[in-house]
Amino acid sequence: MGDVASLILKRLALGVVTLFVISILIFGAVEMLPGDIAQAVLGQSATPENLAALREQMGLDQPAIVRYFHWLTGAISGDFGNSLVTGERVSSTIGPRLLNTLFLASYAAAIAVPLAIILGILVALARNSVFDRVANILALTAISSPEFFLGYVLILYLSVKTGLFPAISSLQGDMSFGDLLYRTFLPALTMVLVVMAHMMRMTRAAIINLLASPYIEMARLKGVPSWKVIVFHALPNALAPIINVVALNLAYLITGVVLVEVVFVYPGVGQLLVDAVSKRDFPIVQACCLIFAATFILLNLAADVGSILTNPRLRHPK
């Protein structure tokens, strides 16, 4: 148990260091953008006095290293400063959008994860059959298609031509849960098609890789049905790679949602990030990027921890 705790603590420490390096890259990328931030906010008609006052208010008169550590300490406590466009607190602006993004990612994950695992088991059972080949072709097609392309295809066939679902995911505070699921179905389906194929192929590959193991051959020689061999013997030992790919795809559901939210005008963090970039609202841009990075690192850590807990060889590397 001590070895497991030590490995987990090492992964957590590495995640903190990685997030620190990413925060430097985010702040440095914004600093290297051409142009004057104060001039961009106030416009070309701003007076030198107004520009000087705004630079002092934003801390632009201080060295970059001082501003970075001031921003980092505020971000650790949840204070990302104020929006340059609206003047509101960045945290209060991002909060509702982050809940919308988490809901959309959870909606897609609730459909994609069990469906991908079930399909992976089925295609492993029907290996080299017509069903297996068709499933692999469809999976490769989904993996190779960009999110925005899949989104526009779904809008064309499920919204424009048939009118089954709305093309724009406009949300209201008083809508019911069923109406919320209905209005967000198309963006959720787009994300499901992107991530489900990858998880299905990994499940299939992990199970097929174990089917040649001696204990699987012994179970077959004893007359155990094929589905029991896979579900009760192969699947538990294939959990490590499956958990890893599921966690990575869950991270993608949250961090890769930007294009999907833009296509469907979904009021999430991705849409907010695009709007902030177009308006040069840098505090919101920095906060969104840091949240995406922290989420991706956290779910990668979850994947590592899950792999460690399900694989004895990782728990006892010696």
Query: Residue 280: its pLDDT value, please?
Result: 78
Query: Residue 311: its pLDDT value, please?
Result: 63
CATH topology for the 99-311 domain: MetI-like fold (1.10.3720)
207-223 pLDDT tens trace: 787 777 787 778 777 77
Q: Chain-centre distance of CA 92, in angstroms? A: 21
Q: Where are the domains of the chain?
A: 2-76, 99-311
Q: Is the pLDDT of residue 59 over 70?
A: no
Q: Is the pLDDT of residue 19 over 60?
A: yes
Amino acid letter, residue 1 = M
Q: Is the pLDDT of residue 188 over 70?
A: yes
Lowest mean pLDDT among 27-41, 63-77, 162-176: 27-41
Q: Which of the pair, 125 or 2, is modelled with greater confidence?
A: 125
94-134 pLDDT tens trace: 888 888 888 998 899 899 888 988 888 888 878 888 888 88
> What is d(CA 286, CA 247) in angstroms, rounded to the nearest whole number?
24
| Locus of tokens 């840091």 | 290
State both tokens at 152.
């526009």
Nearest to 211 by CA among 128, 136, 112: 128
Mean pLDDT value of segment 74-89: 81
Q: Is the pTM of this model over 0.85?
A: no
Band of pLDDT at residue 90, cut at 50, 70 and 90: confident
Nearest to 198 by CA among 308, 111, 112, 310: 112
Query: Residue 318: its pLDDT value, please?
Result: 54
Band of pLDDT at residue 35, cut at 50, 70 and 90: low
Query: Residue 73: its pLDDT value, please?
Result: 87
36-56 pLDDT tens trace: 666 666 666 677 777 777 677
Query: Residue 42: its pLDDT value, please?
Result: 66
Query: Residue 5: its pLDDT value, please?
Result: 75
Helices (H), the chain: 2-31, 37-42, 48-58, 64-76, 90-125, 130-144, 147-155, 177-183, 185-210, 214-221, 226-228, 235-237, 239-255, 258-263, 269-279, 282-310, 312-315
256-299 pLDDT tens trace: 778 888 889 888 888 888 888 887 788 888 888 888 888 888 88
Q: Is the pLDDT of residue 159 over 80?
A: yes
Band of pLDDT at residue 205, cut at 50, 70 and 90: confident
